[in-house]
Amino acid sequence: MKALNKIRSSIGGENVEADTARAVPPETKVSIVRVKPQPPKHKVISYGVRKLVDGDVPEPYRFQYLPDPEMPEDLHPGVIPTFFSAGVPVDREVVDDQGIERVRQDMIYFHTREGDTGPEYQVVYTQQDENGGETPAHSMVLEWTNDVDAIWVEALQQLEDHAGLSEDALAFLDADPLWLFGIADAATQRALEKTAVVPMLRCMGQRPILDEWFAYLNADEKGDNNYRWVIESFAECELPEPWTSFKGVGSVVCYLNNETNETTWKHPFYDYFAQLLSHCRRSTPEEHIKLRINRVLWSYEAESQTDVQAQMPLVSPKYVKVLGEILDCNMIEEPFMVRTLKTFLKAFSQMYHDGELDTQEVTFCLDIVKNERAKNSVAKQLSLEDAATDNDVGGSGQMYCIECFHNEGNVAHLYCPECGDCLCMSCFERLHAKGNRAAHEPNHFIPCVMCKTMPAKLQCTYTRGKYCTDCYYRKHAKTLPKFLDLKPLKIDYKRSAKLEREEKARKEGAPVESGMTIVDPEAKDTFSKPAPLETTLGEKWHAFYDLRGVKYYYNFETQESMRRPQDELILYQAPEDASKAAERKEVLQKLALSKEPRLMPQWEEGKEQDRGANATSH
């Protein structure tokens, strides 16, 4: 510092240090609000909030006022709040249709907000139509400004010229607006000081909206959007006994203890939800999900114990939707996730009863959700032909009997749809000799017309021949006309003739032939008809069970539920002609038992004509 003073002295002289030692800050004038000796009539709509910068109120928001006009020296400090709203009633004289003068009362509103350099003000006055019309007779909306005196002088001028107010009303309005509308009032200032210590829930309507609950917990709607469920739970929480709530002065929700007659702005559960929100902000995403799942399971058990009549299973549309929101799954856009979420509910319930949920399990569930989305994305990109090939029996290679594969390695001759196994002839006859399996109808494999070894998987739509996958694509497809876009038909060995007959009988209303009586748990002791096990309702309808074990279907998009699918919702295929079906069945049976090359009837007829022509020529 001495070296710096020497440099100053050498440059500017000996008195530079004294002249530039310290700059005196300019004095800020704090306005004084004059109180008019008349009874106040203001009605506070909203107290607003105090503007704070580094924990202190800026100077433009400060003023001084006289709580008692008889003591002019007793000045009290005051603060101009932001988002303050209040109204003052004014009387105006009107003449009705009969020529009688009447007095009508209107409201003048005064609002504040935060500006660039300080508080800004607005004055609004609306005069209703005397005939009850929607268009007001007179309307005054003064734009926002930071000069409170100028806007109030302009408002008084317009009210005097156009509003038709009485002389007494104009004389009453001729006062400082900060006092007139209740800002320079001891009750308002005490309420503002209280908001700095006690949280305050504002209610501008009949009930507090979600934005007001966000402000009550000092939460940001965008920054704390992931923790929105905390604020929603706080808003839906019922007050415990003996607390009740009411809307007090300044649109502030007050809570009353009916036993002690204590009134406070603080919700009885405010500390709990404030700590819960703080914990969610500090936790990792996995810990946050774990907390939400624990709360859902705890709420389910609590609701089941308190309201037995409204009890529902845990695996229900309500809790599947809740778990989908927790794991960020949209049931409408991602209906394939419903089955996975139902499995998660069962697993989480078991973990909850055995002990505490593990965070690692939550990580596994997030990975499963990611994998399910990837699988669905890949499945959508696959063509129908690729999907059909993937679902084929045995793929594109040779098929062996599952019973004697490890011992003898026999080639399979047939496929049993009911058993879902490939078997050779001897193993099928041995396993299906008696019991319920005796009624099983197998599908015999058709040998490839070219290699005579591999089972045929594809049928050519041009020659009607049946080929294995290798023979068709490597040999036969090269002989087909290039100008035709020919695609083979897949031979489906998984189709069950028995199930097709039963399904057809159900459609026609005929009795279903069955070798045994199947007792469906849904048909026992229920008040509704049993729902079919499989329907063609589509992927948007999902099956659930109620407490009685009765199956029902639910649509997350339309939020509809039904016990039994209606006939108009099920899109059945058009039934084929009975004679053609019988003919086709007879041909397939002959083809399955015949050792000759497999040819379709049309191809066989042409071949017989060729044989007849050759015989005639000879």
CA angle 273, 278, 282 (to 5 degrees): 145
pLDDT of residue 49: 80
* Per-residue model confidence (pLDDT) at position 583: 77
Note the pLDDT of residue 161.
81
605's torsion region: left (phi>0), alpha (psi -120 to 50) or beta? alpha
Distance of CA 144 to the CA centre of its chain: 39
Q: How many residues does the chain have?
A: 618
- Structural contact between residues 87 and 42, judged by C-beta atoms closer than 8 angstroms: yes
To the question of pTM greater than 0.85 for the whole model, the response is no
Dig out the tokens for 406 from the structure. Answer: 């490890």
Look at residue 36 in the predicted model and tell me its pLDDT: 79
The pLDDT of residue 514 is 52
Q: Give the residue from 571, 580, 441, 583 showing the smallest Cα distance to 507.
A: 571
Whether residue 447 has a cis bond before it, omega within 30° of 0: no
CA–CA dist 564, 552 (Å, integer): 7
pLDDT at 362: 86
Q: In degrees, to the nearest 5, what angle opens at C-alpha 617 toward C-alphas 616 and 618?
A: 90
Res 20: pLDDT:
42
Residues of the chain predicted below pLDDT 70:
1-30, 68-73, 94-102, 129-137, 307-310, 381-396, 405-409, 483-484, 511-537, 564-578, 590-618
User: 443: which residues sit within 8 A by CB, 6+ positions away?
Assistant: 414, 415, 416, 417, 493, 494, 495, 497, 592
* Domains of the chain and any CATH numbers: 31-193 (3.30.160.360), 206-376 (no CATH), 393-490 (no CATH)
